[in-house]
Amino acid sequence: MQADLVVDASGHGSLTEALLNSIGWPLPQETWIGVDMAYTTALFDIPEDAPPDWMGVRTLALYPHSKRAAILPVEGKRWMLTLAGRYDEKPPGDRDGCLMFAQQLRTPTVYNAIRHVKSVPEIARFGFKGSCWKHFERLEKLPQGLLPFGDAICRFNPIYGQGMSVAALEADVLNRLLTAQSAESDGLAGLAAAFFAEAERLIDTPWWTAAIPDFSDPRTEGQRPSDLEYMLKFFAALLKLAAQDAAVHKLFIEVQNLLKPRSVYRDPELVRRIKVVMAEA
C-alpha cells in the first residue's frame, strides 16, 4: 500500500523492527524493566450486600508482597475485579482461587466485598513481562514517512495506568506537528525527529514514576538508576507529606496522571520539606 505517512500503532513495534531488519538498518536501543506481572480480571453482578456509596476500591501492595486489587463498577450493574501480583504471587484464573488471593491482600476490604459472590461468568488472565522503551529518538536514520507510535515506542507496566494517556498525548503532538508541517513546502521532512523529541519528553515522567517503585523490588530486572536509594527515600517521604498536606497530594496526583512533569518535584521549598521528613525516618 502506498502512503506518505505510515503510523505503526501495532502495540509492539515489531512491524517497524521487521522492516528495519529487512533493509539492514539499525534497530533502536531498548531500556527494559522486567517485572513479570500477571493480572486476573473478573466481571460479575454487584453483590446485593455491596455498600451503596462505593465508587471503587483499591488495595495496594505492601513490599515485599506484590499482591494488589481493585474493584470498579462497570456497565450492566457489574463489578470489574482486578487482581495482580508478580513472580510467585500471580493471581489464579478461577473463582475460588481469586477469593483465596483476595484473603491474602493487605486489608480484608476486597475479600469482604466479594466473598458472597457465587457466579463469576467472565474471568480472564493477562501476563506482562516488562516495560520496554525503544529509543527511536536515538536512531540516526529511519525511513521517511514511517512513524512508530504509542506502545510501539514505549510499553509501560500497566499497573500504573499510563499507556493510553501517553498515546493520547502523542496523538495530540502528532496532530499539532502535522498541522504545522502541512503549511511547509517540504511536507513530512523532519516530522519523525520532531515527534520523537516530544514523545521522549512525554515518556520521561511516566517512565520514571513507574521505574522507581518497580526497582524497589530487588527481583526487578534492568539497569537501576545510580541514585535509586535516594529516590526511594525521597518518594517515601513525598508520600508521607502528601498524606498530611492536601496541596502536596494534589501535586503528586497531577504528576501520576501526567498533568505535570516530574520536574515539579525539584521545587526548592518542596525539596526542603521532603528532606525534613526524610531526616525523621
Ligand X SMILES: Cc1cc2nc3c(=O)[nH]c(=O)nc-3n(C[C@H](O)[C@H](O)[C@H](O)COP(=O)(O)OP(=O)(O)OC[C@H]3O[C@@H](n4cnc5c(N)ncnc54)[C@H](O)[C@@H]3O)c2cc1C
Q: Residues 113, 158, 211, 251: which binds ligand X (CB under 6 A)?
A: 158
| C-alpha to C-alpha distance for 174 and 188, rounded to whole angstroms | 11
Q: Residues 165, 181, 216, 256: which binds ligand X (CB under 6 A)?
A: 165
Does residue 71 touch ligand X according to CB under 6 A?
A: no
CA 104 distance to own-chain centroid: 24
Stretch that binds ligand X, among 54-62, 104-112, 139-147, 158-166 (CB under 6 A): 158-166
Instruction: For the chain, report the end-to-end CA distance as a whole number of angstroms.
Output: 61
Does residue 255 touch ligand X according to CB under 6 A?
A: no
Query: x/- contact string, 13-52, with ligand X (CB under 6 A)?
Result: --x-----------------------x-------------
Supply the minimum distance, in Å, between the C-beta of residue 227 and ligand X.
27
Q: Residues 113, 163, 174, 214: which binds ligand X (CB under 6 A)?
A: 163
Stretch that binds ligand X, among 42-50, 100-108, 161-169, 192-200 (CB under 6 A): 161-169
Supply the minimum distance, in Å, between the C-beta of residue 152 and ligand X.
6
Does residue 89 touch ligand X according to CB under 6 A?
A: no
Ranges within 137-156 binding ligand X (CB under 6 A) = 150-152
Q: Which residues bind ligand X (CB under 6 A)?
A: 9-11, 15, 39, 126, 150-152, 158, 161-165, 167
